Amino acid sequence: SLSLLFSTNKIFPISGTPQKDVIIKSDAPDTLLLEKHADYIASYGSKKDDYEYCMSEYLRMSGIYWGLTVMDLMGQLDRMNREEILTFIKSCQHECGGISASIGHDPHLLYTLSAVQVNERLLLPRVLS
């Protein structure tokens, strides 16, 4: 294949062969099992003693955002416990107004943004309906 690289107003042709890093066998599954994915995401966090759950505490707020986003895309947002999520967000809010990744962590702009996005995703459908 031939592509063009634009640099300092000059055009340089670059050629190369596309590389496949994975070969998918012809008998590999070709169906996306949305219900299985939704089941996994909806149940994530129900076992708070799981090693993975404990070790990902510092990612909790972002994980909630991504989990809600994918559940919304799959049309499964109603399976998420809105009140539990909103209560968790409130428990992560600090006096300064910032929000932390999880309870007992320091507030950070990234997790504050995630919390705002989660609130928008959870509360906006109620306002619009």
pLDDT per residue over 11-67, tens digit each? 666 667 777 788 889 999 889 899 999 999 999 888 888 898 899 999 999 999 999
Tokens representing 7 are 């640099």
The answer to whether residues 118 and 64 touch, using CB atoms and an 8 Å cutoff, is yes
Partners of 99 in beta bridges: 93
Express as a percent the part of the chain with pLDDT over 90.
Answer: 63
Flag whether pLDDT at 79 surpasses 60.
Answer: yes
> What pLDDT is attached to residue 66?
96
Locate the domains of the chain by residue range.
33-41+49-129
Higher pLDDT, 13 or 110: 110
How do strand 2-7 and strand 10-15 relate by DSSP bridges?
Answer: antiparallel
